[in-house]
Amino acid sequence: MASLKSLRLPPLLALLSFFAPVASSASFTITNNCGYTVWPGLLSGAGTAPPETTGFSLAAGQSRSIAVAASWSGRLWGRTLCSTDPSTGKFTCATGDCGSGTPECSGSGATPPATLAEFTLNGAGGMDFFDVSLVDGYNLPLLVVPTAGSGGNCAATGCAVDINGLCPSDLRVTASDSGYATACRSACEAFGQPEFCCSGEFASPETCKPSSYSQFFKNACPRAYSYAYDDATSTFTCSAGGDYVITFCPSTTSQKAGENNPSKPVAGNLPLTNNSMVFIGAESTGAAAAQLVDATAIAVAIVFFHWLLY
């Protein structure tokens, strides 16, 4: 496996990027529905022109539109709990940090764990290919919705629930000051074993199979990549030429189940999730996104009760 900080598109998207013809531009509208600031980061694939910005601050409730080349390939993610050291001026984030020392990522990828939105626009057959990936772990709920385009698999995708609170203890990342979960690592990052990383003798779809850890992610987020060769249920396509809405923390449709959370802000105002599961809705993103949320909520409820019982 390539370095987790490098841009590693799923095998199908990587192949399709070689066939991308040249076009004009597309637009990503990035919206932060979280109750705290998120710093989006963007990383372009090799040979792809970088967008107008590679990282910026997005306060709670804010949106920003970014122009990218219509044949752009790359990934986008959210960084959380970011701050600038007053003595050194270095900018760092607790999750999704790209190591640049500034809000602009400038060609650096996300430090795992981070929820990733991955795109190959205007690729083979004049199609856009996109996915949401948990191969490098999870830090934020993320939804990708195409605003145009057509095709049998042109639909919203994402991981529309907050799974940090139910993350297995050996994958969980916690804030040093509070002990609350801020992210969930992949088994590859946590253990470094070839069977989890799809590397070495496991570097093919035939030899690299889902693990109990990747199945945890898949049950919670059925449309997201849970391991490197999870192509069949996780890659989505639309005819090229459309734009995309990317939302962090899509609208909440139910309250947290736990009642033992303290009321004071913890970990830089990240919501407390250790004793609860947040079900995420998508009222503003249309029927496709709402259908995704319904299916995801059912899957997460099953996971939640499974972990309670066993």
User: What's the pLDDT score for residue 10?
Assistant: 52
Sorted by where each begins, the domain ranges of the chain are 11-309
Q: Residue 229 in 3-state DSSP?
A: coil
User: What's the pLDDT score for residue 31?
Assistant: 98
The tokens for 107 are 């060609």
The architecture in CATH of the region 11-309 reads Sandwich (2.60)
Between β-strands 39-44 and 73-84, what pairing exists: parallel, antiparallel or unpaired? antiparallel
**CA-to-CA distance for 189 and 117, rounded, in angstroms?**
19
- pLDDT tens for residues 219-270? 999 999 999 999 989 999 999 999 999 999 997 432 222 222 222 223 333 3
Element (H, E) at 279: strand 278-279
- pLDDT tens for residues 64-123? 999 999 899 999 999 999 999 999 999 999 999 999 999 999 999 999 999 999 999 999
Q: What is the mean pLDDT of residues 293-304?
A: 41
Q: Looking at the predicted structure, is the pLDDT value of residue 277 above 90?
A: no
- pLDDT tens for residues 18-31? 444 444 789 999 99
Q: What is the mean pLDDT of residues 298-305?
A: 39
Q: What is the mean pLDDT of residues 275-283?
A: 36
Cis upstream peptide for 113 (omega within 30°): yes
Determine phi and psi for 203, rounding to 5 degrees: -90, 45
- Better pLDDT: 259 or 125: 125
